[in-house]
Each structure stands twice: as structure tokens, then as C-alpha cells.
């Protein structure tokens, strides 16, 4: 009989189920309820559209969650050994050019957990990347996001977790007689779901271009007024690489635009000429093998993530876990660990 209900089947809901199982909850007592499941495509479902990679330049507030995620993803690899297929999780070298120097506190906190860490100060990067204040190099986790969330769901179901596809109009619909706790992992849905109706939640649109690029074996990004990134996808038969992108606040338009694609291709090839120089199909932008162009909406929240326990009607326990913005893969396991830890409070 269901005792724990997780509403939402994006990466946050799936990490939350993983943490419940790790805590010792019997999987047959866990149910997932979600409108969208892995395999679906909707602007209301951010997780399939993420690059996704582990960026080491997150805000201070997210650092405890991202550091936890970085260190504990091997547990997820172990957990997913119950499915025999590739899971869409790997590691590769990553370089980020930043338009602000990292504070000593940030540097200390990040560098103590991240492997192969190197910090390049302004004088070492300004010639290579004009305008950048520093660069960081490290070994990053990379996610094949559609495959990774499908693998998590497959693994959870194989253990006995049940899944119900349903759109809830009110969070109270998640409770049955046997329910002890509901986890709200509805991302952007938290803005419109009655019983939650969080006015701080807003979508941040991003468009990405997915190319086939067997010659790319690393991630590369530059953060300034633009967000320019190149992310290698692991366990991809077509050697997918994600080129991005945009951070458009309060936009949830699923349409993709040719002028945005052109802008992404110009920025990424300028930042990282290897995309063209070593491309097996030719050395101009038009030689890039574009597989698809997609747009997704990050579930952002003014004030940051919401990980909070609430008691409804003096008896029902509701634990919120949403608002991951552009960081659900890289900080989500830490967020889920924190949310599940609230069971003990
Ligand atoms: C272009 C792009 C690039 C990105 N790159 C990265 C990256 O490199 N690294 C990284 O860490 N992150 C990245 N992200 C961010 C990442 O995708 C999100 O942080 C993450 O997917 C959020 O997961 P979530 O589970 O909170 O939300 P979602 O994936 O949106 O899932 C929400 C779930 O809740 C369900 N739901 C909502 N409302 C209801 C309701 N009323 N009833 C029932 N179910 C409901 C939905 O159906 C869905 O199952 C990127 C995002 C985009 C769009």
C-alpha cells in the first residue's frame, strides 16, 4: 500500500524516489503521480531538454546541493545496475569561462570536492576569451537527460515503485487513506497547482541545437550576457552534442526560431573552433550535422529552491522540492537528499 507519494516525474521527483529507497523505504510503498513521464515532450516538462552537465559555477546557495550531487552520483550509478542498458551518465573534462571572479569561499568549497580542479585567473584567460575574468577546468558529470530519466524510472519500477499518469488540479488529490507523506516535485507546475500556487515560480526558456559530433569529447562554456555552451552527451549512439543557448526569463514558448539557431551556431563555433576544425563532415557551419532543435522551460524561482515541510489540515505531511532552475541535474540529488531528510524533523 502506498505510503509515500512523489508528485512529478522529472529529474527532481526521480532523484527524490532514489533518496527514499536509499533511506530504506520499501519501494512498493512509493508511488509516482505525474502528468508527464520520461519519453514525453512538453514545454511543461523541463527534464528532457536539459544538456545536461555539471557546471561548477553555481550560486553559493546551491553549492551544498551541487557538491552533494557531485559526490553521490556514483550511488545512482550503483543503484541503476539493476537495469542492464546504458544509463546516460558519464564524466568528461569541462572548461568554463566566467565573467566574474570566483570568491575565495566559493573556490574553497567547490575545489574540495571536484576532481581535476584548476583555476585560471584573469591574466591567463583574457587573451583567449576577451571579457572573461577567470576560467575553471575540472572533471564534470554529463547526463544524456532523456536516457537518464528513463533509466531512473525503469530502475525504480523494477524495484516495485508504482507510477500513475495523472494531472492533479489540487495537491490534496495526491493523498489516499494510506498516504503518510507527499513530495511536491512539480517544477513549473507549482505555479498553477492549487494548494501550492507559488507566485515565485517562473519559466526560463532555453533553445538548444542538438548535433552529431563524434569528434567532441569535452564540455566548453562561456557565461556573460550570453549563455554559450557545448555539452557532450554520454551513451549516445549518434554522438550527440548539445549547443546552447538562452536564458529567457518568464518565457515558456515551445516554438524554436531559426535566428536563435543561427546565433547559437555562431557563438559556439567562435568559442570552440574544434566544432568545425575537426568535424568529419566539413569545416563550415553548414557542414554541422543538426539532428534537432528544441526549446525547454527551466523551473526557476525567485528566492531559489524551495525545500520545505508543510503540514496540511493539521495532519497531512507535504514536503516541497522544486525551483531547480537551470540546475536540476547538477544539484537535484542534493536537493532530494535534503527533502527526504525532512522526514526526520
Ligand atoms: C535548455 C535547458 C538546458 C538545461 N541544462 C541543464 C544543465 O546543463 N544542467 C542541469 O543541471 N540542469 C539543466 N537544465 C535544468 C533542468 O532541466 C531542470 O532544472 C530540471 O529538469 C527540473 O526538473 P523538475 O523535476 O523540477 O521539473 P520537470 O522536469 O519540469 O518535471 C516536473 C514534473 O511535474 C509534473 N507535474 C507538474 N505539474 C503537475 C500536476 N499538476 N499534476 C501532476 N504532475 C505535474 C510534470 O508532469 C513533470 O513530471 C536545463 C534546462 C533547459 C530547459
**Could you list the pLDDT tens digit for every one of the 345 residues in the chain?**
899 999 999 999 999 999 999 999 999 999 999 999 999 999 999 999 999 999 999 999 999 999 999 999 999 999 999 998 999 999 999 999 999 998 888 899 998 899 999 999 999 998 888 889 999 999 999 999 999 999 999 999 999 999 999 999 999 999 999 999 999 999 999 999 999 999 999 999 999 999 999 999 999 999 998 999 999 999 999 999 999 999 999 999 999 999 999 999 999 999 999 999 999 999 999 999 999 999 999 999 999 999 999 999 888 999 999 999 999 999 999 999 999 999 998
- Candidates 229, 249, 248, 231; CA nearest to 240 is 231
**194: helix, strand or coil:** strand
Residue identifier of the C-alpha nearest atom 52 of ligand 1: 50
Superfamily of chain region 4-344: D-Amino Acid Oxidase, subunit A, domain 2 (3.30.9.10)
What spacing in Å lies between the alpha carbon of 69 and ligand 1's midpoint? 17
- Candidates 12, 37, 328, 31; CA nearest to 181 is 31
- Candidates 47, 48, 43, 58; CA nearest to 221 is 58
DSSP string spanning 299-312?
A: EEETTS-EEEEEEE
3-state helix, strand and coil shares in percent for the chain, rounded to the nearest 5? 35, 30, 35
**196: helix, strand or coil:** coil
pLDDT reported for residue 315: 87
Rounded Cα–Cα distance for residues 268 and 261 (Å): 11
Ligand 1 probe mutation, 65, 92, 298, most atoms within 8 A of CB: 298
Rounded Cα–Cα distance for residues 102 and 99 (Å): 9
Residue identifier of the C-alpha nearest atom 35 of ligand 1: 8
What spacing in Å lies between the alpha carbon of 285 and ligand 1's midpoint? 30
The number of the ligand 1 atom at minimal distance from the alpha carbon of 245 is 1
DSSP string spanning 244-286?
A: E---EET-------HHHHHHHHHHHHHH-THHHHT-TT-SSGG
Q: What is the DSSP letter of 112?
A: T
Residue identifier of the C-alpha nearest atom 12 of ligand 1: 327
- Candidates 192, 223, 213, 188; CA nearest to 202 is 188
Q: Burial, 154: exposed, middle or buried (Cβ in 10 Å; 0-12, 13-18, 19+)?
A: middle
Helix (H), strand (E), coil (C) string for 132-154: CCEEEEEEEEEECHHHHHHHHHH
Amino acid at each position: 500500500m502506498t505510503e509515500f507519494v512523489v508528485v512529478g516525474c522529472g529529474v527532481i521527483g526521480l532523484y527524490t524516489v532514489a533518496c527514499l529507497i536509499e533511506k530504506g523505504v520499501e519501494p512498493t510503498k512509493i508511488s509516482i503521480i505525474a502528468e508527464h513521464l520520461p519519453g514525453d515532450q512538453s514545454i511543461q516538462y523541463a527534464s528532457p531538454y536539459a544538456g545536461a552537465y555539471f557546471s561548477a559555477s553555481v550560486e553559493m546557495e546551491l553549492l551544498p546541493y551541487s557538491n552533494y550531487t557531485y559526490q553521490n552520483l556514483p550511488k545512482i550509478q550503483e543503484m541503476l545496475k539493476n537495469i542492464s542498458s546504458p544509463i546516460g551518465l558519464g564524466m568528461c573534462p569541462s572548461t568554463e569561462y566566467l565573467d566574474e571572479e570566483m570568491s575565495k569561499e566559493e573556490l574553497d568549497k567547490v575545489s574540495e570536492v571536484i576532481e581535476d580542479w584548476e583555476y585560471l585567473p584573469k591574466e591567463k584567460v583574457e587573451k583567449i576569451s576577451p571579457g572573461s575574468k577567470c576560467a575553471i577546468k575540472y572533471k564534470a558529470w554529463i547526463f544524456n537527460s532523456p536516457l537518464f530519466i528513463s533509466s531512473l524510472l525503469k530502475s525504480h519500477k523494477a524495484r516495485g515503485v508504482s507510477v500513475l499518469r495523472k494531472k492533479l488540479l489540487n495537491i490534496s488529490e495526491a493523498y489516499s487513506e494510506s498516504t503518510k507523506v507527499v513530495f511536491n516535485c512539480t517544477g513549473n507546475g507549482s505555479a498553477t497547482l492549487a494548494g501550492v500556487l507559488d507566485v515565485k515560480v517562473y519559466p526560463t526558456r532555453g533553445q538548444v541545437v542538438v548535433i552529431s559530433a563524434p569528434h567532441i569529447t569535452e564540455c566548453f562554456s562561456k557565461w556573460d550576457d550570453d549563455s554559450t555552451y557545448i555539452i557532450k552527451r554520454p551513451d549516445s549512439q549518434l554522438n550527440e552534442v548539445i549547443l546552447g543557448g538562452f536564458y529567457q526569463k518568464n518565457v515558456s514558448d515551445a516554438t524554436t526560431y531559426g535566428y536563435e539557431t543561427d546565433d547559437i551556431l555562431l557563438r559556439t563555433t567562435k568559442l570552440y573552433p574544434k566544432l568545425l576544425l575537426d568535424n568529419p563532415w566539413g569545416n563550415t557551419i553548414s557542414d554541422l550535422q543538426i539532428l534537432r532543435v528544441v526549446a525547454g522551460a527551466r523551473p526557476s524561482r525567485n528566492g531559489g529552491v524551495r525545500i520545505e515541510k508543510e503540514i496540511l489540515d493539521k495532519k497531512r505531511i507535504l514536503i516541497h522540492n522544486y525551483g531547480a532552475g537551470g540546475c536540476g541535474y547538477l544539484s537535484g540529488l542534493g536537493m532530494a537528499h535534503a527533502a527526504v531528510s525532512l522526514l526526520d524533523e
